[in-house]
Amino acid sequence: MLHANLGPVATSFTPDLERIASFDREGRLQTYTERRRTWRRTLSGRVFERRTTPVRGWRPLDSREAAAVLGRAGELAREVAREARQELAQRLRDEILPWTPERLLAERERFDRAYRPVSILPPDRYAAIVLQATEGCSWNGCTFCSFYAGRPFAVRRPSEFEAHVEAVRELLGRGILLRRGIFLADGNALAVGRRRLEPLVESAVRAFPGEPLSGFVDLYSGERRGEEAWGWLRRRGLERVYVGMETGLDELLKKVNKPGSAAALESFVARLKNEGIAVSLIVMVGLGGRELRQRHREATLDVLARLPLTRDDLVYLSPFVEPPDRSDPGSDGMSAREIDEETRLFARSARRLGLRVSLYDIREFVY
């Protein structure tokens, strides 16, 4: 029996519970499930298959594989259309069926015209409207990170940013109904000085009125920005800041070439909270390996206990993943099982402090 969900932001249906497809309101495929296998088509136009072994995450499909999956999802839509009635029949006719596999694959060209590579987002911002005020990371020297390797930090000019915003609006179309909030990218957009950042923020909120703002900032840059500047950003809609805390152990920060200290983090978080800005702190579990495992955990939990965090704030636990192209002192031979065990221990301990905790597995990210 045919089951359909005709929500205001998306359409999904299944004729037999073996095959399930969901689409945005532009009619573009979002996810397709067939006999317990799941594929996701991202805004970039690429198609990924869900995997759990040998590692968790998404496997990118080549163009031939992607076309085959898109074809099967299209065949399902045509099958459903033969018995669909009323609103479902209209959505299939007007939104979904016009999208052939070739047209869906061609969306990648439109994405590439609108975006530079989107390297990483926080998990609760995977469905955000990503606006790239900058490219790369202003520090880009942490030994555990390769997201922005070979990409010098640059700030977009206001005219260039406005053109980017318009290209993003066009790409999203009615698919914007699935999006929540604006994420100012790339890795460190909120580190930009107010003189250069202000026109970019104004363009973003003008293009997407009412959408809250969020973004990454490194501790060194964030601490240098005064309360007045953070207050201005809050009044423009800045709702949440994501900070790579990594560890509360200063010795380990130096080892991985990460600027900052536990004392600086305490000062910065207090400043943000005074301005009414929520904080998401990212802790890297497994950093420092077996040698520093216990000291890393104890020092980090000690710092977290001293921070003025509330239920609006969040602690992300990010399992260490060996960077593919950097030499890093990081995991010191810790196995994936050991890092998983340490993540669970971190989570239990942090929750005892009354903190909200969530997992941040970088292998799960696709955009």
Domains in the chain: boundaries: 3-110, 117-364
| Banded pLDDT at 328 (limits 50, 70, 90) | very low
pLDDT digits (tens, 9 = 90+) for 284-296: 999 999 999 999 9
Closest Cα partner for 332 from 284, 296, 293, 295? 293
The set of long-range contacts for 62-66, using a CB threshold of 8 Å and a minimum separation of 24, is: 63/105, 66/41, 66/101, 66/105
What number is the average pLDDT over the span 178-197?
93
Better-scored residue on pLDDT, 140 or 47: 47
Predicted local distance difference test score (pLDDT) of residue 332: 61
- Tokens 């420092």 belong to which residue? 288
Query: Distance (Å, rounded) from C-alpha 150 to C-alpha 140?
Result: 9
Is 329's pLDDT higher than 50? Answer: no
Q: What is the pLDDT of residue 333?
A: 67
Closest CA to 264 of 222, 236, 230: 222
| Distance, CA of 42 to CA of 48 (rounded, Å) | 8
Considering only residues 104 and 323, tell me which one the structure prediction assigns the higher pLDDT.
104
First to last CA, the chain: 33
CATH pick for 117-364 out of 2.30.40.10, 3.20.20.70, 3.30.420.280, 3.40.50.620:
3.20.20.70
- Say what the pLDDT of residue 325 is: 60
The pLDDT score that the predictor gives to residue 330 is 46
Local confidence band at 324 (pLDDT 50, 70, 90 cut-offs): confident
- For the ranges 23-37, 48-62, 130-144, the lowest mean pLDDT is seen at 48-62
